[in-house]
Chains A and B, each alone.
Chain A
Amino acid sequence: MQTDPVTTARAGRPRAASLEFRAVSKRYGSGSGTPVAGTPGAVNNLSFEVPAGAICVLVGPSGCGKTTSLKMVNRLIEPSAGQILLDGVDVQTEDVTALRRRIGYVIQQVGLFPHLTVGRNVAVVPALVGWPKDRQRARSDELLTLVGLDPERYRDRYPAQLSGGERQRVGVARALAADPPLMLMDEPFAAVDPIAREGLQDEFLRLQSELAKTILFVTHDVDEAIKMGDLIAVMEEGGRLAQFGAPDEILAHPASDFVARFVGADRGLKRLSLRTVADLKVEPAGRGDGLPTFAPATKLRDALSILLVADTRGGIALDEAGRPRGLVTVDQIASALADERPAAATRP
């Protein structure tokens, strides 16, 4: 509970827990018996496993039960049936307060405490579990730095004095304060404008590559799900799991018409956005003067777009040092989707 996430991650012992939903249902309305069909937020026989250190995104239309599912993990909502296991232990068997204190919780409206300074907001859980004051302060400064907010400038401000993006960062810092092995994030970036959202997503992924927390992430936005998720659980109305798998598998092999419609007709392009120019085998070529050039991290989707706009069949892939590596063509980009990874899309 009291180790520093940065150092533990660097020492190769990231604190993360595995998470398993085992036939979890939540019924609203008529009480016992069959689930009330179409009740928003109901969950029907949900089962999936998230290995420690992975980001699992619950995605689906509104009312599909994704937030209900998330809130059953820290027992803000109690399931009607089934089990949720955290590192193999049923959360129902744990003291609810202690359970919540070791699970990070980030919500769309952030829910920062307006009456506490940023520094004290971040240290809320450490204060609840009784850390000494100086340790709380040190921890809070450390986390503000981690999320890119200068403690000197921010620790004594009140939430009302922050922008939406800054508030959301403080929300993430607060959720990380007691080094939780699991983070629950409910539409954490939905309330900020698209440009700030993209920045927050990128930063969070960079942070996660160091922290390696287990994360359950809820969104209604397919693009966000594809970008953030190591695993995606697509949910449909009635709280059923429509498909569970890696983003590329879901895009390549939608398990049903619903999933295909939900991920969109541009799912091929979305798969391209999961790959970069560095992933391509390229043909050796000359300097290719006048052709567009691509840094290794350029997404294939962007590379394709650039080639279409430039009205040229090819561009030059550069290596890390900026030297030409070879020729990239539209055909090559198209064929990148053909070398299938083993299809493992599951259909529950």
Chain B
Amino acid sequence: MSTEPLVRWDWLAANLGPIAGRIEQHLYLTVIAVAIGFAISFFLAAVSIRRRRLYPLVVVLSTAVYTIPSFALFVVLIAVSGPSVLSAEIPLVMYTIVLFVPNIVAGFDAVPWDVVDAADGMGYTAGQRWWQVELPLALPLVVASIRLATVSTIGLVTVTAVLGDSLGGLGYYILDGYHRHFTTEVLVGGLLSIVLAVLADLGLVLLQRLLTPWTAAREAAR
């Protein structure tokens, strides 16, 4: 064991294809979870904004879900829906909701009332006001919540490896390396998922800059 190097480069070189496949699966599981989670959360946020009294309930429920240990939830779901993508996505989606909803609500709350008043006074219809004024102004916090949920989900996808070898994305290597006491695999799985998270975050920052060029002007003016 003592002669074993920290990283077996030959293993790495021999497994480039499967590693790429795992990266692809990791991204696939992440994108599905973030997309579905966002859609559900946007709906819940919209309801919370219209019916303010429901908002505390939405927050309490989504926080309660977040307190369930992910490992336990995945294991329970194997019994319900087997080692399937569905078993992976249900918890992943549920965990994004608590990250999305408060930020989306805060984003729309942050739209200045005088801007809304001016839009109404100038004859925006409700739909035009929403698409052309409220949504663009809520966008900085909405995109921030997408960043948060994406980074968090990329981390959680590794845990889906407990569902079986066919899942887990890069988490497969972490679990497999752990079982086999093979450090190279653990490092590859762990480090690449970190790299993935950082790159996704950078990409989303860039997207936000492109979508909301005016925020840069606002920060420069401060």
Binding site for B on A (CB under 8 A): 71, 74, 76, 97-101, 103, 105, 107-116, 124-125, 128, 157-158, 160-161, 174, 184
**Pair A124/B122 contact, Cβ less than 8 Å:** yes
- Complex-state Cα separation, A207 to B128, whole angstroms: 31
Instruction: State how many angstroms separate the Cβ of B6 from the closest Cβ of chain A.
Output: 50
Cβ distance B71 to chain A, nearest Cβ, rounded Å = 43
Q: Which residues of B contact A (CB under 8 A)?
A: 112, 114-125, 128, 133, 136-137, 212, 214, 217-218, 220-221
**Are the CB atoms of B218 and A114 closer together than 8 Å?**
yes
- With A100-B123, A128-B128 known to touch, is A160 a contact of B118 (CB < 8 Å)? no
Complex-state Cα separation, A291 to B115, whole angstroms: 54
Determine if B114 and A161 form an interchain contact, defined as CB atoms under 8 angstroms apart.
no
The CA of A97 and the CA of B121, in the complex, are separated in Å by 9
Known A107-B114, A158-B214; judge A113-B133 contact (CB<8 A).
yes
Q: How far is the CB of A217 from chain B (nearest CB, A)?
A: 15
The answer to whether B112 touches A111, judged by C-beta atoms less than 8 angstroms apart, is yes
26 interchain pairs (CB within 8 A)?
A: A71-B121, A74-B121, A76-B117, A97-B123, A97-B124, A100-B121, A101-B123, A103-B121, A105-B121, A108-B114, A109-B112, A109-B114, A111-B112, A111-B115, A111-B117, A111-B118, A111-B121, A113-B118, A113-B119, A113-B137, A114-B214, A114-B218, A115-B136, A125-B122, A128-B123, A157-B217
Q: Is the interface of B mostly helix, strand, loop or mixed?
A: helix
Contact for A125 among B112, B123, B137, B220, CB less than 8 A: B123
Contact of B122 among A71, A101, A116 (CB under 8 A): A101
CB-based contact A161/B124 at 8 Å: no
Bound together, the chains give a CA A115 to CA B118 distance in angstroms of 14
Task: Tell me the bound Cα distance from A112 to B112 in angstroms.
Answer: 10
Instruction: Evaluate contact between B217 and A112: CB separation under 8 angstroms.
Output: no
Question: How far does the alpha carbon of A267 sit from the alpha carbon of B109 in the complex, in Å?
Answer: 45
Residues in A with CB closer than 8 Å to B218 are 114, 158, 160
Q: Contacts A128-B124, A161-B217 hold; do A115 and B137 have CB atoms under 8 A apart? A: yes
> Is the Cβ of B114 less than 8 Å from the Cβ of A160?
no
Given A100-B122, A125-B123, A158-B214, A114 and B115 touching (CB < 8 A)? yes
Chain B residue at smallest Cβ distance from A158: B217
B212 cross-chain contacts in A, Cβ below 8 A: 115
Specify which of B117, B124, B137, B217 is in contact with A107 (CB 8 Å cutoff).
B117
A215 to chain B, nearest CB (A): 15
**One of A98, A114, A184 near B121 (C-beta < 8 A):** A184
Closest to A175 in B: B122
Residues of A within 8 A of B114 (CB): 107-111
Given known pairs A101-B123, A113-B115, the reply for A160 and B214 (CB within 8 Å) is yes
CB neighbours of B136 from chain A (8 A): 115
Contacts of A110 in B (CB 8 A): 114, 118
Is B122 in contact with A105, judged by CB distance below 8 angstroms? Answer: yes
- Measured between beta carbons, the chain A residues less than 8 angstroms from B124 are 97, 128
Smallest CB separation, A121 vs chain B (Å)? 10
A184–B122 Cα gap in the complex (Å)?
A: 11
The smallest beta-carbon distance between A52 and chain B, in angstroms, is 21
CA distance A43 to B112 in the complex (A): 27
User: Lowest 4 A-B CB distances belong to which pairs?
Assistant: A111-B118, A100-B123, A109-B114, A101-B123
Report the Cα distance A114→B123, complex, angstroms: 18
Which residues on B sit within 8 Å (CB–CB) of A115? 136-137, 212, 214
A112-B121 contact, Cβ under 8 Å, with A158-B214, A158-B217? no
Report the bound CA distance from A332 to B119 in whole Å.
52
Q: Which residue of A lies closest to B219 (CB)?
A: A160
**Could you say which residues of chain A place their CB within 8 Å of the CB of B133?**
113
B122 near A128: Cβ-Cβ < 8 Å = yes
Closest residue to B115 on the A side, CB-wise? A111
Task: Tell me, rounded to whole Å, the shortest Cβ–Cβ distance linking B91 to chain A.
Answer: 36
Q: Are B221 and A161 in contact (CB under 8 A)?
A: yes
- CA–CA, A30 and B221, complex, Å: 47
A110 to B117, CA, bound (A): 10
